[in-house]
């Protein structure tokens, strides 16, 4: 299975430099829609419900302190044909949205909201957004 940095590298290869927040939201939506369309996770790392939306900690550790990200230590060549179709479809819909728009969207959706239940708005939090929660929610809106 590919890792989150492979997916992020592919996204950056396709879309170019972007904010760290936008990259985090795009990998989140790639994972969510892979669970629905392909019935399998795209990458193995867990997604946590942080204050500004879903975050993959391993990717965050790479871009910590950066506002803009133009490359990550991942290998986009590891991504298979089916996975590329999923990522490309996600990028076609979400790729031109702003990081704030994507963050606001994740805040309106139940996987993030449910994982943040009981936390103060500014609390970082580290509760995992499960594959089951993502699959259930996103399959219901297709």
pLDDT digits (tens, 9 = 90+) for 22-48: 999 999 999 999 999 999 999 999 999
What is the predicted pLDDT for the residue at 95?
98
Q: What is the pLDDT of residues 82-111, one digit of tens each?
A: 999 999 999 999 999 999 999 999 999 999
Q: What rounded mean pLDDT belongs to the chain?
A: 96
Residue 124 has pLDDT above 80, yes or no: no
Whether the predicted pLDDT of 142 surpasses 80: no
Check residue 17 and give its pLDDT: 98
Residue 118 has a pLDDT of 87
Task: Say whether pLDDT at 62 is over 90.
Answer: no
Tokens (6 digits) for 117: 């239940």
Least confident of 1-10, 29-38, 123-132: 123-132
Q: Which residues contact 37 (CB under 8 A, 6 or more apart)?
A: 86, 89
58: nearest Cα among 5, 112, 130: 5
Sheet holding 47-50, edge to edge: 53-55, 47-50, 128-129
Q: What is the pTM for the complete model shown?
A: 0.96
Mean pLDDT of 16-23: 98
Rounded mean pLDDT, 110-132: 91
Domain count for the chain: 1
Its domain, for residue 21, covers 4-140
């Amino acid at each position: 299975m590919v890792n989150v940095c492979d997916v992020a590298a592919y996204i950056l290869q396709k879309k170019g430099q972007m904010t760290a927040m936008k990259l985090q939201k795009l990998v989140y939506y790639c994972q969510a829609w892979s669970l629905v369309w392909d019935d399998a996770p795209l990458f193995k790392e867990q997604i946590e419900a942080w204050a500004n939306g879903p975050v993959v900690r391993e990717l965050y550790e790479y871009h910590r302190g950066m506002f803009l990200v133009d490359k990550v230590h991942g290998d986009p060549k590891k991504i298979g044909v089916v996975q590329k179709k999923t990522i490309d479809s996600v990028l076609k819909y979400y790729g031109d949205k702003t990081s704030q728009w994507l963050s606001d969207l994740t805040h309106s959706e139940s996987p993030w909201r449910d994982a943040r239940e009981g936390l103060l708005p500014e609390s970082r939090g580290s509760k995992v957004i499960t594959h089951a929660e993502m699959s259930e929610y996103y399959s219901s809106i297709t």
